Structure 1
């Protein structure tokens, strides 16, 4: 009988998407094929403290000091994660935050190895800062551990909306008009910053922290009165702010279309889906806290539009040098010419069973459990390819 692969599912983290990570991880732990994989849960608190598996379950049990109980989970059993974990499961003696990333990586791998069975691959379910931006990927690279998803470059480029859009533009992909300003510029001279924005863009505009996901810190400003508070909100989360001109103008809103991409050097695109927000746009509350947002899969668009969007999704994936998975988001003008704009890529999208990325692939023919397995296979494939690299002349 073949030895099971040992998979470390890493969740939590210090970002504003901590709670979303818990929901994704709980769903993965429930659905992963236990016939193929031994699973090691690894938790990181909001303070950055690494938890052994036996303690990591506390992050998934709904402890009010760590988990917001009012989050609407992807399925009814997603939050009480203690039901998902078996007693006696091997634990990972993960490190406390260290002064050196290399020291953390070495400790992480050594302590697992001391239990006579090293982790074969890590599935990071860390959305947002310190999980989706290349930082944790660098840790895995230093440790020589295979991991699901994009590498350091792809993760960091896919996280920074300003850099991402520059890569899209270089690849000739259509994007909305936007500018980026620094938090320090906004705080030092608000009037100058507002004048710069208004000279470049027309209201309404969307104001976003450059480095975050799940629509955290994003606001729609219809006029100058709303612009200042929107910039203040985004500035809580990042030093760089991205301001985008709204598609559809002030009288109508853009259609929000999404595609899943799966693969490494030969990525494939899923069917196209559409989100009809229960609010004015698909913000954090609409995604996770309130009812009313409706996913439509497949989206009600023409075959030619679907083909164009899927091709653009793969082109965006390649433009940012991504790997494994990504959800690629688009905006379509609501009427008239129905022009399509590439909005952004998400390198570690929400991963509950009702999240758009798994649902898009389910509609394309890959079940949730099989999708998890395929992502682990892609991680090992990419790690094997990387092992062919020579790092020394001797």
Structure 2
């Protein structure tokens, strides 16, 4: 039987370029070793940070070394967005592009135009999964409980001296301290600040506005951070629930990507009814944005009251062997290589 040609799309024009390479290396290994090696023919396609697409030797080099290709490399000097001819042979895409320009609907729209099936959510769900404000509106419409939040525009932050203080007054009155200031459209905790004072709030708003024109400010809660993995299309299923523990003030970029700064507890030590609530809410969140293929849903469990609040959904979570998403499925009885196989089959089924 002929092998299916899988295009592994990785790298990308975002601050999560190196994370994408790490995820792609793990997926490439799973696709090229038995039994998947007998099912699939892998074509790695690497997008450089400035947008050049590479296939063949250069893409394979990045996969093997784990080192991003230098934009000044003479061998990589092709026109931006000029596609390698080999991509015409791709029968199904496996995009592993984290962050803006990768999981926000942009690349998904391009792949849709190619009329080739691809792993993961489509344009709408990807865009909503990246945009925290659109996501929260979808969750609210689905009746999912959330932390209190306010939407803020860059225009309000970078405004005249009369408007900005009024904005800060409104945040203090409505949400209080501590609260979190976030760009609406960035992943991996980039640009996020936890603030406790007026001075910190003003600085955090200014910093977040430098990343995005739309911001979100959320009330802080004393809660455990628990996560659930989703797999499927029209009938998604939920994994066991895991928990992230850390010693830092919050789960910021440095904590997330520095070895030893955070621990994953799988399965999380939760009452059975709480774990089931998290799983149910995770599936509801996935359906609320019209997700497909995979997602990781993050929730807050407030032990003092027993409440579970939806935090956010990630439609293309980290995918190394030690990342939360594949580990949740491993503890649910689904090994990494079989998980990757099922995702490719879900892409074909949903096309």
Who is 1:157 aligned against?
A: 128
| In the alignment, structure 1 residue 207 sits paired with structure 2 residue 190 | no
What displacement does 1:240 show? 0.8
Mapping 1:1-394, distance limit 5 Å:
2-32=1-31, 33-60=36-63, 61-63=65-67, 66=70, 96-98=79-81, 111-113=86-88, 118-189=89-160, 190-248=164-222, 254-333=223-302, 335-383=303-351
CA 1:270–1:66 in structure 2 vs 1: closer, same or farther (change >3 Å)? Answer: farther
Q: Matches of 2:49 and 2:181 in 1, distance apart?
A: 25
CA 1:64–1:96 in structure 2 vs 1: closer, same or farther (change >3 Å)? Answer: closer
CA 1:59–1:191 in structure 2 vs 1: closer, same or farther (change >3 Å)? Answer: farther
| CA deviation string 1:264-283 (max 9, x = no partner) | 00000000000002312211
Task: Tell me if the contact between 1:209 and 1:241 (Cα under 8 Å) persists in the aligned partners.
Answer: yes
Q: Matches of 2:158 and 2:69 in 1, distance apart?
A: 33
SS in 2 for 1:147: coil
| CA deviation string 1:290-345 (max 9, x = no partner) | 42311111111111101111000000000000000000000112x32131100000
Task: Tell me if the contact between 1:278 and 1:294 (Cα under 8 Å) persists in the aligned partners.
Answer: no
| CA deviation string 1:181-207 (max 9, x = no partner) | 112221114323312322321111111
Q: Matches of 1:9 and 1:221 in 2, distance apart?
A: 40
TM-score by length of 1: 0.82
| CA deviation string 1:90-137 (max 9, x = no partner) | xxx9x8435xxxxx7xx66x6533xxxx21111110011011010101
Q: Matches of 1:342 and 1:111 in 2, distance apart?
A: 42
CA 1:222–1:369 in structure 2 vs 1: closer, same or farther (change >3 Å)? Answer: same
Q: Matches of 2:87 and 2:339 in 1, distance apart?
A: 26
Q: Matches of 1:351 and 1:337 in 2, distance apart?
A: 33
Q: Matches of 2:307 and 2:70 in 1, distance apart?
A: 43
Task: Tell me if the contact between 1:247 and 1:332 (Cα under 8 Å) persists in the aligned partners.
Answer: no
Q: Matches of 1:256 and 1:96 in 2, distance apart?
A: 44
Task: Tell me if the contact between 2:22 and 2:66 (Cα under 8 Å) persists in the aligned partners.
Answer: no
TM-score by length of 2: 0.92
Task: Tell me if the contact between 1:44 and 1:51 (Cα under 8 Å) persists in the aligned partners.
Answer: yes
Q: Matches of 1:185 and 1:97 in 2, distance apart?
A: 35
Aligned residues: 339
Q: Matches of 2:30 and 2:55 in 1, distance apart?
A: 21
SS in 2 for 1:301: coil
What displacement does 1:368 show? 0.6
SS in 2 for 1:364: coil
More deviation, 312-321/49-58: 49-58
**Structural RMSD (CA):** 2.0
Q: Matches of 2:188 and 2:304 in 1, distance apart?
A: 30
More deviation, 306-315/211-220: 211-220
Q: Matches of 2:263 and 2:344 in 1, distance apart?
A: 30
